[in-house]
Amino acid sequence: MMRTSQGWLGVALASLLLFAGVSRQQVWAEQRGVYVTPLPGKEGGLISETKVYDHSYAVVIGIDAYQKLPQLTGAVRDARTVKKALEEQGFTVTEVIDSAATRQAIAELLGDKLRYGAGPEDRVLVFFAGHGVSTGTGDTAMGYLMPVEGVREAPVSTGISMMELQNWFAGYQAKHVMFVADACYSGLALSTRATGLSPQTMDYLKKVTKKKVRVALVAGGAGEEVNELHGQGLFTSFFLEAIGGVADADKNGVITSDEIAAYVKPNVAQTAMQLYQTDQNPQIGRRGEGEFIFLNPMGARHAFFSKPLEQPRVEQISEPKREMTALAKGGWTLLGIGAAGIVTGGVMYKFTQDEIDKQSSSFSGDHAAAEIYSAVSYTSFAIGGAALATGAILLIVDSVQRPKVAVFTPLLGSDGKSVMAWWGGRW
């Protein structure tokens, strides 16, 4: 009898240890520079490990609580999710949320502080989630980001125009600047006529990491509304997947702004049409032949360290990081409860067998206690088993509900008819 109870206890403890070991936390060291180590056969003109950025700065702006525009529900959440992803990529991130996102505060940060704060070998990324307004059509089209006090009928006086943004970015010393906007009405006036260097260009990586660039990627064209997927902006979701590694089309460990656009644009458009029967067509605009660079966390030889590591660190990730859904949280919680129930049942089962053994050997055992222990044991096993099964079902349902979207790779900027007419050629 005692062997049987010990066996049950061992199984229960093993289940608990297995549950405790399924999660891990990735910790990044303090970061000061970005290095690219060329992969064999994909050097792109880089002879050895090359430092491409001294510092990485980002500003994330998210506005839900508009004062004079319709309230939003996911912009702040998207901004904070992007902030976390950028921090893992080595960025120093400034967060501007809700009431802090006034026109004056944004202008001071983007127009003044970054102009003098970023150096010539730095990169700067600005992410905006909130309302956008478009005025005019064709060559007269102009897009405006709306701060927290913005008024739809007065975008010129209360919004921030794309012309104003590009003037700020033009004044930065930073080598590479990227603007990303997941706006509620993001018909932002930029041009997609400019194109970067072809990846087939000789010494491609060497050239695009040295040349300057200003690039913008926005969630949709004029008159389009953005969609959400699992509580997150559809555009933001695919942008995070892109910089998480899946956009590295040539698998060289480097993700360029062109590769990000090549992943985000068709996937957003395809998903919006399939799931919501609406048009949402992200737009890209650029000025310069450089490329804004991310390292691929799924395959880069080195991450963001001030000097080379003696042993290169490689992070193996099965899929891009996602925020845990309510179903997933419930599933893991039930697995924990189930494991605890199994452990409790095993312990109570042991106590039951001890009492039975005492009764068999010396007639000294407590029969009532044995019955109580037995009842608690089998109840714990039943509850634990049910919780484990239910938790597993919730996790399976959560996995099935995640959309499976095909990845396309179209030619960028081929139409030449974007309403985003102010970005290229005006620096």
The domains located in the chain, with CATH, are 2-23+324-401 (no CATH), 41-295 (3.40.50.1460)
pLDDT number for residue 185: 54
Burial class (CB in 10 A: 0-12, 13-18, 19+), 100: middle
pLDDT number for residue 418: 34
Please list the residues that pair with 143 across neighbouring strands.
134
Give the H/E segment covering residue 179. strand 176-183
- CA distance to 242, 276, 347, per residue, from 380 (Å): 45, 45, 10
pLDDT number for residue 204: 92
Q: Which of 411, 177, 207, 126 is nearest to 292 (CA)?
A: 177
pLDDT number for residue 106: 97
pLDDT number for residue 291: 96
| DSSP sequence for 287-319 | ESS---EEE-TTT-S--S-SS--SS------SS
- CA distance to 236, 372, 389, per residue, from 281 (Å): 13, 65, 42
- CA distance to 46, 58, 103, 223, per residue, from 156 (Å): 46, 26, 12, 18
pLDDT averaged per 10 residues, the chain (length 427): 39 38 31 79 86 96 96 94 96 97 97 93 96 82 92 95 91 96 61 75 93 93 79 92 93 94 95 92 90 86 34 34 72 86 83 74 67 81 86 81 41 32 42
Structure pTM?
Answer: 0.64
- CA distance to 280, 374, 379, per residue, from 368 (Å): 69, 10, 17
Burial class (CB in 10 A: 0-12, 13-18, 19+), 417: exposed
pLDDT number for residue 33: 86
Question: Can you tell me the distance from the alpha carbon of 249 to that of 199, in angstroms, rounded to the nearest whole number?
Answer: 11
Q: How many CA atoms lie within 13 A of 90 on its CB side?
A: 24
Residue type, 85: A
pLDDT number for residue 241: 95
Give me the phi and psi of 331, to 5 degrees please: -60, -50
pLDDT number for residue 369: 74
pLDDT number for residue 171: 93
pLDDT number for residue 19: 37
